[in-house]
């Protein structure tokens, strides 16, 4: 187990939601596993007036709610001694000399030798200003010490559209070099997403089939059961395309569809995902209506409880046209995937919370044996990669039913991560924070990947913004979205897979 060099993690926005829910619990978990270096400190930054003690006390209360296991009091006490706080306004350039001074103190105390990670866990509107202010103090410079490093982690969203994404990259790269920049997409930190790489490239049996000759189509679903839950203001300005598709789902697509990298170096792997993203066939304005289905949930009763529609959520305008559901059909124009449609969907207030990739293999050329449950059809061979929850992989194939004749039934072979009971499956933020400390950017998005995603998404966003008549379909909360989303499939199958047909089993493995 490689332990990172001593370093300080500076969290801008340390009084906020992400810090308490994800970052501090992830760091605490790394502390418990002895994965943090001996000399390690966190410096939280925010306008909220706190001192070190108040910051620690606040997090001590919150950690019980957000850490996934039982909090060992002794371990927490030792860990919390590494937490510090500086009250300052990140937007105010005059506050940065005191940041520099505080860092110098902690640097000497923890012997970190100038290794700093700046984590922008703050409103995206201030990303650019913070980077500029760090630059004014030379806090990004690596020449100021021998063999030290300075890294910058940027939370999504990386911009609001193509132009603002490019502008943010320009601002950041005026101060930091690309190798110092770590754009975090927590989906890439998930074990099951990384396992797609291992599954594809460490087994000889699947990769020969992984192309247009054997695969008929691929589905990627990211469904959320929850609504906007108090984040109406943010959500209404973003919508599900920006919130889920532009980043998480296109990154997953990049991994599912990439060519084998020549080695497992950060840039070699990322070169391959960028090739996929830049080969996405642009959806022409006249095809948007037929290839992209937008939806918005309306009030319904779920499990006996009345649920509000999106337009009735707090801080959502009553005539909002923001989509809470999206389904799209897209193509990758290269030799491996020519003609294979990829169906992507994401949404809120769907029947269950699930993220999965479904690889649909082509049917046999002749139907010798019919599916017992679906006569006149060949056996559907599907490979289902469940990203969350109940992470695992399942392969569906036909088996003969015992007895007379040749009745065939679809059965499954599956692997569940939960069965690896003695192995700690790290949270995405644990893995990604550790990777950044180790200087491994493989699972972080590079500038060209982010901009390729925006290039693909931008025309869709622009068409919706310009055309107030563009279609947005309603769907009752608790259902799988507008029925029009099934029309995307014409000719390929009956429509989307229903990952969890039985709501009473929600949270269980259901069909997987
Ligand atoms: N929360 C999540 O689950 C989540 C998930 C994925 C990505 N993200 C991204 O992570 C970042 C942080 O998210 P968050 O939910 O933690 O945000 P947040 O709670 O709204 O904000 C974090 C902190 O930033 C400071 N802040 C907010 N607006 C500011 C402004 N205009 N100028 C200066 N400081 C400001 C506030 O601290 P002070 O008032 O003390 O300065 C606040 O406590 C965002 O970019 C978000 O998109 C969050």
Q: Give the separation between CA 45 and CA 48, rounded to whole angstroms.
A: 9
Minimum-distance ligand 1 atom for the alpha carbon of 47? 41
What are the two backbone dihedrals, phi and then psi, of residue 511, each rounded to the nearest 5 degrees? -70, -25
**pLDDT at residue 506 in the model:** 40
Q: Give the separation between CA 481 and CA 349, rounded to whole angstroms.
A: 9
**pLDDT at residue 416 in the model:** 85
Q: Give the separation between CA 26 and CA 46, rounded to whole angstroms.
A: 20
Query: Are 325 and 435 contained in the same domain?
Result: yes
Answer yes or no: is 58 within a domain: yes
Answer yes or no: is 372 within a domain: no
Minimum-distance ligand 1 atom for the alpha carbon of 15? 43
How many angstroms does the Cα of residue 119 sit away from the middle of ligand 1? 11
**pLDDT at residue 145 in the model:** 78
- At residue 500 the predicted structure's pLDDT band, cuts being 50, 70 and 90, is low
Write the CATH number for 87.
3.40.50.720
Query: Are 48 and 138 contained in the same domain?
Result: yes
Answer yes or no: is 313 within a domain: yes
DSSP conformational letter for 374: B
Protein residue with its CA nearest to atom 43 in ligand 1: 16
In the predicted model, is pLDDT for residue 93 greater than 60?
yes
Residue matched to tokens 């502008």? 167
Q: Strand 215-223 to strand 354-361: parallel, antiparallel, or no bridges (unpaired)? A: antiparallel
Q: Where does ligand 1 bind, in terms of residues with CB under 6 Å?
A: 13, 15-18, 21, 46-48, 90-91, 121-126, 155-157
| Start-to-end Cα distance in the chain | 33
Give the 3-state secondary structure of residue 328.
strand
Write the CATH number for 479.
3.30.360.10
Domain edge (last residue) among 130, 155, 180: 155
Q: Render pLDDT for 185-206 as a digit per residue (tens, 0 to 9).
A: 999 999 889 999 999 999 999 9
Answer yes or no: is 406 within a domain: no
Domain edge (last residue) among 114, 134, 155: 155
In the predicted model, is pLDDT for residue 105 greater than 80?
yes
How many angstroms does the Cα of residue 287 sit away from the middle of ligand 1? 37
How many angstroms does the Cα of residue 44 sit away from the middle of ligand 1? 12
Q: Give the separation between CA 255 and CA 190, rounded to whole angstroms.
A: 13
- Of the candidates 453, 450, 446, 454, the residue with the CA atom closest to the CA atom of residue 271: 446
Is the CB of residue 316 less than 8 Å from the CB of residue 310?
Answer: yes
In the predicted model, is pLDDT for residue 233 greater than 70?
yes
141 burial class (0-12, 13-18, 19+ CB within 10 angstroms)?
Answer: middle
Query: Are 13 and 55 contained in the same domain?
Result: yes
Q: How far is CA 370 from CA 217, 314, 406, 497, in A?
A: 21, 52, 9, 20
Minimum-distance ligand 1 atom for the alpha carbon of 90? 33
Is the CB of residue 307 less than 8 Å from the CB of residue 341?
Answer: no
**pLDDT at residue 510 in the model:** 52
Give the 3-state secondary structure of residue 503.
helix
**pLDDT at residue 423 in the model:** 76
Structure-block tokens of residue 507: 């949270």
Highest mean pLDDT among 286-295, 385-394, 396-405 belongs to 286-295
- Sheet containing strand 408-416, edge to edge, reads 408-416, 392-400, 382-388, 354-361, 215-223, 342-347, 325-330, 292-298, 473-476
Structure-block tokens of residue 334: 């290269």
- At residue 468 the predicted structure's pLDDT band, cuts being 50, 70 and 90, is low
Candidate from 25, 55, 96, 123 with most ligand 1 atoms within 8 A of CB, to mutate:
123
How many angstroms does the Cα of residue 242 sit away from the middle of ligand 1? 17
Q: How far is CA 108 from CA 8, 10, 88, 145, in A?
A: 11, 15, 21, 13
In the predicted model, is pLDDT for residue 288 greater than 80?
yes
**pLDDT at residue 504 in the model:** 44
Q: Render pLDDT for 14-47 as a digit per residue (tens, 0 to 9).
A: 999 999 999 999 999 999 999 999 999 999 999 9
Helix axes 266-278, 447-466, angle to 10 degrees: 30
Answer yes or no: is 260 within a domain: yes
**pLDDT at residue 196 in the model:** 94
Query: Are 61 and 145 contained in the same domain?
Result: yes
Q: What is the mean pLDDT of residues 228-248?
A: 93
Answer yes or no: is 472 within a domain: yes
Task: Name the residue range of residue 353's domain.
Answer: 188-359+427-505
DSSP conformational letter for 287: G
Angle (nearest 5°) at CA 228 between 169 and 155: 20
Query: Are 151 and 256 contained in the same domain?
Result: no
In the predicted model, is pLDDT for residue 170 greater than 90?
yes
DSSP conformational letter for 491: T
Residue matched to tokens 């001593």? 6
Query: Are 248 and 309 contained in the same domain?
Result: yes
Candidate from 95, 122, 160, 165 with most ligand 1 atoms within 8 A of CB, to mutate:
122
Q: Render pLDDT for 109-138 as a digit per residue (tens, 0 to 9).
A: 999 999 999 999 999 999 999 999 999 999
Q: What is the mean pLDDT of residues 422-428?
A: 83
In the predicted model, is pLDDT for residue 460 greater than 70?
yes
Query: Are 297 and 353 contained in the same domain?
Result: yes
- Of the candidates 210, 186, 185, the residue with the CA atom closest to the CA atom of residue 197: 210
Which range is least confidently modeled, 64-78, 367-381, 478-492, 496-510? Answer: 496-510
How many angstroms does the Cα of residue 233 sit away from the middle of ligand 1? 13
- Of the candidates 95, 145, 135, 75, the residue with the CA atom closest to the CA atom of residue 115: 145
Q: Which of 31, 248, 360, 372 is catalytic?
A: 248
Answer yes or no: is 416 within a domain: no
How many angstroms does the Cα of residue 232 sit away from the middle of ligand 1? 15
Query: Are 255 and 342 contained in the same domain?
Result: yes
**pLDDT at residue 28 in the model:** 97
Q: Give the separation between CA 349 and CA 227, rounded to whole angstroms.
A: 5
Q: What is the mean pLDDT of the chain?
A: 92
Angle (nearest 5°) at CA 143 between 142 and 144: 90
Query: Are 85 and 232 contained in the same domain?
Result: no
Is the CB of residue 479 less than 8 Å from the CB of residue 347?
Answer: no
Protein residue with its CA nearest to atom 10 in ligand 1: 121
Q: Give the separation between CA 496 and CA 91, rounded to whole angstroms.
A: 46
Query: Domain count of the chain?
Result: 2
Which DSSP string corresponds to 45-109? EESS---HHHHHHHHHHHHHHHSSS---HHHHHHHHTTEEEEE--TT-GGGHHHHHHHHHHHHHH
Minimum-distance ligand 1 atom for the alpha carbon of 48? 40
Query: Are 244 and 136 contained in the same domain?
Result: no
Q: Give the separation between CA 1 and CA 5, rounded to whole angstroms.
A: 13
Q: What is the mean pLDDT of residues 448-453?
A: 97
Query: Are 144 and 205 contained in the same domain?
Result: no
Q: Render pLDDT for 137-155 as a digit per residue (tens, 0 to 9).
A: 999 999 877 789 999 999 9
Is the CB of residue 10 less than 8 Å from the CB of residue 19?
Answer: no
* C-alpha torsion 130→249→160→293, nearest 10: -160
Structure-block tokens of residue 413: 């072979």
In the predicted model, is pLDDT for residue 243 greater than 50?
yes
Task: Let me know if 248 is a catalytic residue.
Answer: yes
Answer yes or no: is 399 within a domain: no
Q: What is the mean pLDDT of residues 7-16?
A: 97
Q: Render pLDDT for 335-362 as a digit per residue (tens, 0 to 9).
A: 999 999 999 999 999 998 999 999 999 9
Q: Render pLDDT for 486-495 as a digit per residue (tens, 0 to 9).
A: 999 987 777 8
Query: Are 104 and 207 contained in the same domain?
Result: no
């Amino acid at each position: 187990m490689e332990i990172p060099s001593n370093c300080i993690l500076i969290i801008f926005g340390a009084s906020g939601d992400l810090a308490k829910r994800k970052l501090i619990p992830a760091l605490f978990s790394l502390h418990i596993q002895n994965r943090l270096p001996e000399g390690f400190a966190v410096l939280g930054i925010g306008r909220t007036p706190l001192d070190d003690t108040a910051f620690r006390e606040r997090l001590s209360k919150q950690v019980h709610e957000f850490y996934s296991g039982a909090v060992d009091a002794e371990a927490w006490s030792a860990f919390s001694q590494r937490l510090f706080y500086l009250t300052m306004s990140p937007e105010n350039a005059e506050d940065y000399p005191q940041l520099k001074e505080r860092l110098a103190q902690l640097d000497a105390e923890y012997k970190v030798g100038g290794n700093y990670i700046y984590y922008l866990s703050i409103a995206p509107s201030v990303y650019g200003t913070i980077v500029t202010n760090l630059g004014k103090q030379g806090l990004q410079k690596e020449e100021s010490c021998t063999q030290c490093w300075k890294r910058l982690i940027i939370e999504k969203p990386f911009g609001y559209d193509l132009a603002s994404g490019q502008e943010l990259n320009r601002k950041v790269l005026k101060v930091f070099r690309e190798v110092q920049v770590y754009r975090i997409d927590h989906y890439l930190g998930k074990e099951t997403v990384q396992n797609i790489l291992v599954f594809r490239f460490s087994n000889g049996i699947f990769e020969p089939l992984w192309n247009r000759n054997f695969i008929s189509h691929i589905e990627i679903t990211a469904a959320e059961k929850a609504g906007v839950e108090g984040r109406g203001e943010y959500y209404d300005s973003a919508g599900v395309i920006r919130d889920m598709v532009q980043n998480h789902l296109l990154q997953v697509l990049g991994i599912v569809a990439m060519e084998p990298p020549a080695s497992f170096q950060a840039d070699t792997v990322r070169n391959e995902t960028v090739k996929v993203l830049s080969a996405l066939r642009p959806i022409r304005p006249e095809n948007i209506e037929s290839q992209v289905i937008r939806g918005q949930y309306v009030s319904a009763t779920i499990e006996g409880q009345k649920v509000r529609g999106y337009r009735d959520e707090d801080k959502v305008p009553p005539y909002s046209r923001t989509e809470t559901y999206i389904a799209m059909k897209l193509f990758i124009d290269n030799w491996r995937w020519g003609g294979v449609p990829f169906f992507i969907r994401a949404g809120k207030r769907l029947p269950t919370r699930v993220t999965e990739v479904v690889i649909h293999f082509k049917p046999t050329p002749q139907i010798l044996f019919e599916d017992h449950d679906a006569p006149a059809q060949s056996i559907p061979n599907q490979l289902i990669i469940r990203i969350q929850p109940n992470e695992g992989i399942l392969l569906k194939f036909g088996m003969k039913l015992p007895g007379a004749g040749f009745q065939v039934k679809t059965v499954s072979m599956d692997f569940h991560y939960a069965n690896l009971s003695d192995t700690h499956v790290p949270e995405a933020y644990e893995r990604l924070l550790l990777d950044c400390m180790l200087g491994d950017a493989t699972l972080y998005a590079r500038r060209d990947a982010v901009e390729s995603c925006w290039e693909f998404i931008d025309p869709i966003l622009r068409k919706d913004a310009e055309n107030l008549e563009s279609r947005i379909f309603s769907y009752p909360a608790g259902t799988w979205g507008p029925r029009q989303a099934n029309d995307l499939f014409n000719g390929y199958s009956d429509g989307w897979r229903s990952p969890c047909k039985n709501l009473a089993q929600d949270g269980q493995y259901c069909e997987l």
